[in-house]
Structure 1
């Protein structure tokens, strides 16, 4: 269904990042068993949520900051890459095969936001994205300079479906979309404050205020929130101690 099926953190300090997210989201970390790299798996209640690895040396030297990336599951990575390039996208990393995992490539949309494409070699089903389930992915948000052009790209290449356009007043339109299964999976909007286009990944928590305090207590920085969103839940956007941007979503159960 061309859903976002995996999350990956590239960081300057894998050990410190492992400790931080274990405190904030209750993730347990296991080794992936890949012989050629230190690639760790974030797990919540025995469900694999995402991966963690050190920023590649070349990327770090080029000035790439720590950050989260998402993976979209597709039928054929090479066909999708070709389609992306033909419609204004960029190939950041050519398609490669990862033994016992699948084939992946890293592309950029016409505004430059990065996203992995992946076709799996196994039969495992991803349960990383589960709105409302603590520790799992809860929302995917594209901050861009031209959501109309971005939407034309993603709807053509990934067959995502428009769910709803929300009027945010002076902030413009917020477009909600799904992967064709009628389950909303994210939104996109024009963010004039963003220095570049990027995807922001939200993870579910049981209590947004408690999670916010955990972020700050363990070296993170809250940038925005808690803010209530139309679903009734509350969100924060934050940097982890290494500077990777992420977001949390959940209920507010304390009195304010």
Structure 2
């Protein structure tokens, strides 16, 4: 289970890179009731998604050459420079070298060996998201990957993650991720890793992290998203032992998921 008691390797931030941040803000406001607070005149258009005055994510313009709209998942680190060395030693690449963000903290961005982008946040004044595991907030993170074995080895090397493999029928396996010291005793799952099936790879799917947002009503939130231009990836469906979930792309193409229920496999 996600928590705001952040320890190394646990998700502690998410942000959305968008070609039109105002359009993105309007979309997510309509779906989740979020508002946006500017990070200030020197932030380059970056702002914080807020719900009832608490930060639940962030949004900003695309800044990297060739970037497409996407959510980025950040993981806590006590030392962004040391994590950068670990990423390189494990076969990942550095997209954004470690850099200070005023006094808020220090970040770095990477690409794992299978092509999935992610980042780390070393807290300063900003420890991370203010709230998780509530309706309309982050409650799970998930990696679809072209090579689950390589991905698991990489993240275990960088973050010391552990995995609980859950058979899903046939040759499909869902690996639940946990960090040492993360979550609560007996409830340490923070995300999942799943192999992209051959037909999806042949259709052009690539490795990607995306967030799950908890919702009070999956079908109603799904309808709110699609009515505002979201594209359907997975319609609302029941996952035994998990809950009711759906997956979409926002109007600019960033993937995200919805879930009503316990996100941890039981």
Gaps of at least 5 residues in structure 2 are 1-6, 262-266
TM-score (normalised: structure 2): 0.87
State how far apart, in whole Å, the 1-side matches of 2:148 and 2:28 are.
31
8 Å contact 2:232–2:247 — kept in the other structure? yes
Q: Write the distance in 1 (CA, Å) between the matches of 2:127 and 2:84.
A: 23
Quote the residue 1:155 is aligned against: 156
* Cα pair distance change 1:139/1:125, threshold 3 Å: closer
Q: CA RMSD in A?
A: 1.6
Match of 1:238 in 2: 248
Question: What do residues 34-58 of structure 1 show as CA deviations (whole Å, max 9, x unaligned)?
Answer: 51411110011222111101112x5
Q: TM-score, normalised by structure 1?
A: 0.90
1:229 corresponds to which residue? 239
User: Which whole-Å deviations, capped at 9, do the CAs of 1:11-54 have from their partners, x for residues lacking one?
Assistant: 11111110110111111111111514111100112221111011
Q: Return the offset for 1:123.
A: 6.3
Q: How does 1:214-225 map to 2 (within 5 A)?
A: 214-225=224-235
Q: How far did 1:232 drift?
A: 3.9
Q: Distance in 1 between matches of 2:35 and 2:43?
A: 22
Q: Name the SS for the 1:135 alignment partner.
A: coil
SS at match of 1:242: coil
The change in CA–CA distance for 1:241 and 1:126 in structure 2 (over 3 A counts) is closer
Q: Residues of 1 paired with 2:129 and 2:225: CA distance?
A: 27
Alpha-carbon distance in structure 2 between the residues aligned to 1:49 and 1:231: 26
Q: Which residue does 2:113 correspond to in 1?
A: 110
| 107-116 or 193-202: bigger deviation | 193-202
Query: 2:73: which partner in 1?
Result: 70
Q: Give the secondary structure class of the aligned counterpart of 1:35.
A: coil
**1:9 partnered with 2:3:** no
Paired residues in the alignment total: 244
Q: Name the CA distance, whole Å, in 2 between partners of 1:86 and 1:37.
A: 32
User: 1:5–1:127: 8 Å Cα contact kept in structure 2?
Assistant: no
Q: Tell me: CA distance 1:116–1:20, structure 2 relative to 1, closer, same or farther (3 Å).
A: same
Residue 168 of structure 1: CA displacement? 1.4
SS class of match (1:234) = strand
1:233-254 residue CA offsets vs partner (Å, 9 max, x unmatched): 1111101111111111115xxx
Distance 1:123 1:43 in 2: 14
What do residues 75-101 of structure 1 show as CA deviations (whole Å, max 9, x unaligned)?
A: 100101101101111111111111021
Shift in Å, 1:6: 0.8
Q: 1:6, 1:128 within 8 Å by CA — same for their partners in 2?
A: no
